[in-house]
Structure 1
């Protein structure tokens, strides 16, 4: 366990993975923020963090305007990463591999949803195309499309990137800016008599640390952190499986990130391919449950991809893993900003698989809120915690 340099901090961030580190770095970009920042991370190897098990994808193909705008900034951030990091030549350039997402619709209702979403995306400047089955077949003749009616595809600022490098530089630059990281675990919180403010956090090492603001950036463990402040949160770990495979008959062109109606997705991954899915029994699991169900490949993933892409009849899995979504069971979208009663308790939770791509914009927005008491660049108010209590869902049709 580490030892903190101070007895109190203006901002204590619980969790140092992509969200904790994005916020820590963005606070240093706020011209008027002068506070002390502590990031408490229980596992500095991040071996089991959702950040370490991500497929690092980004898309503009959402149905909700706010989610689209968040990803548009994410693409800008990725493409101009070194510039955002101050132009330091040591900072690498990030490449956004824009093979695009291709959503396939097998029912008229699904096709209508895709068309409606495409219209919203285009109104915000996205290059999404709504395509007929024949148009898809002409562009990508390797698909079997007998059951498909239509699809949406966008090859501009949509694909995958090196999320691990982005995360690494958030951490490095946050430390250079004076943010303190400590290897420890928050195990308790003390509130004021009225229950309206967290006054200190207790660490597993036994230390008590005063705080001006506490930020829950605990990923799939978010509910445990919130419970310490007497707050319930509908965020639970859910397993998501990934498989990298080699094909005996590789395709002669890049494979878009194809969202099959079966719930399986598959895309190019260098000279290999990557496929993933949720389990059919998509239940909450313990935050430390990474048990692997090997039948999912044989019973779900391989049948789906071999049916959709007959060239994948002969494939060999060369890597596989299971990670956790920090799954918002209420509406599968982020919970961001302050609690309505415990006013200095902040949420960066429940991203439900959108985390890596949304980290640049959400980190910036939270830093603005902490510094100025308001969002300045992009209004993130639709993600407020109060929607949970009001039972007003954030509507997003395009959840994978």
Structure 2
């Protein structure tokens, strides 16, 4: 019988793998390690907040898309879609696990300039090469398919209604964590506060409660706290928390069909939530790094920016009532808004799983699998993730992802 609560003290003084952070990336990695027949080591997941109330995983839109500007990111999301749609089979046909689907209302990118339209045209070529079903729509075609939009300023749109939309990320996270623990992964409610480095390796981590835990490999899966975790190993990583605001609102006159996750040219986004409710998100024009403990809401942002944009784009949203709001954090890779993955070239057993810049939830199936492969085999066996290595940070050689929300 697996306990539902986490103990604070590890049962051992040494583990083959210590994962710093037990939210969706850490739990995906832990589960994939248990799934790998070639891995037979011990795993400790250290999670500072086992309620997960303030982690990025809990503040997500819980949507996935294939509309990226790099083929690898498209393939990563395609794997996520396959995993979610086949989750019970993927997780050993465990009858406790629900059958899940993707509510594919799609993402709709709106371009209001010819320059932005050209970006969408270039991106669709990448997406089609990767097998995505993205379509370009003229303003007239958008208006015909979705009459509720104001498209007077729109030059072009792109949409994909195949495996793009809402999925139950909370259920996937819960079952990864639950099955990993049932299979022997140990989770503790604690915090890594220091690391001891001996030459080219991390020899041990120190927990807030004082225990010193020897480790074979360390995975930095600490989300917006990635830079703080890396600094304990004497490593710099260009990842910082950025505040992202969300609102759920009810429309006095609901739309007569599903609302795609609409990315307005202003950067404001909004999607179908069901039952006449919708979820919107955005951030302030000035977007500095935030303290990872800062979840204060900017109440003026809704009135002064988000709602006016929504009401202009979708006139039916002139009469709405906010029913919920919150602040979350993106773990932004300031180099190129792409993941940083794999080992540090000089600290060989320190493994990055960081910098997802807002698309981490949908990338978690592939990223956890890849990290588990690296930890087990020292190489990637499925999708080749080597492009996301830390070496590009050292070379200042970004892989620019233009499709960032």
Q: What's the TM-score, normalizing by structure 2?
A: 0.97
User: 320, 328, 339: which one pairs with 1:334?
Assistant: 339
1:232 maps to: 236
Q: Secondary structure at the residue paired with 2:80?
A: helix
User: 301, 308, 311: which one pairs with 2:313?
Assistant: 308
2:354 maps to: 349
1:115 maps to: 121
User: 366, 370, 384: which one pairs with 2:371?
Assistant: 366
Mapped pair 1:280 → 2:285: yes
**Deviation of the 1:380 alpha carbon:** 0.5
RMSD of the alignment, in Å? 0.8
User: 129, 148, 152: which one pairs with 2:158?
Assistant: 152
**Deviation of the 1:119 alpha carbon:** 1.4
1:75 maps to: 81
CA distance in 1, matches of 2:15, 2:323: 46
2:4 maps to: none
How many correspondences in the alignment?
398
Counterparts of residues 36-115 of structure 1 (less than 5 Å): 36-115=42-121
Task: Structure 2: give runs of 5+ residues left out of the alignment.
Answer: 1-6
Task: Structure 1: give runs of 5+ residues left out of the alignment.
Answer: none
358-367 or 328-337, larger mean C-alpha shift: 328-337
Deviations 1:277-334 (A, max 9, x none): 0211111010000011100100111000100001111000001111000111111111
Mapped pair 1:129 → 2:135: yes
**Deviation of the 1:395 alpha carbon:** 1.5
Q: Secondary structure at the residue paired with 1:175?
A: helix
Deviations 1:241-292 (A, max 9, x none): 1100011111101100000001100111011111100211111010000011
Counterparts of residues 238-277 of structure 1 (less than 5 Å): 238-271=242-275, 272-277=277-282
**Deviation of the 1:2 alpha carbon:** 1.5
1:383 maps to: 388
2:211 maps to: 207
CA distance in 1, matches of 2:400, 2:119: 13
**Deviation of the 1:360 alpha carbon:** 0.1
2:404 maps to: 399
User: 19, 23, 28: which one pairs with 2:34?
Assistant: 28
Runs of 4+ in 1 over 6 A off after TM superposition: none
Deviations 1:180-216 (A, max 9, x none): 0111110111111x2x100000111110100000000
1:2 maps to: 8
Q: Secondary structure at the residue paired with 2:39?
A: coil
User: 174, 182, 185: which one pairs with 1:176?
Assistant: 182
**Deviation of the 1:63 alpha carbon:** 0.6
Mapped pair 1:321 → 2:326: yes
1:166 maps to: 172
**Deviation of the 1:232 alpha carbon:** 0.6
**Deviation of the 1:95 alpha carbon:** 2.2
CA distance in 2, matches of 1:43, 1:397: 33
Q: What's the TM-score, normalizing by structure 1?
A: 0.99
CA distance in 2, matches of 1:330, 1:348: 15
CA distance in 2, matches of 1:251, 1:215: 45
CA distance in 1, matches of 2:293, 2:8: 22
CA distance in 1, matches of 2:26, 2:271: 29
Q: Secondary structure at the residue paired with 2:214?
A: strand
Deviations 1:122-172 (A, max 9, x none): 121111001111111111111101110001000000001111111111100
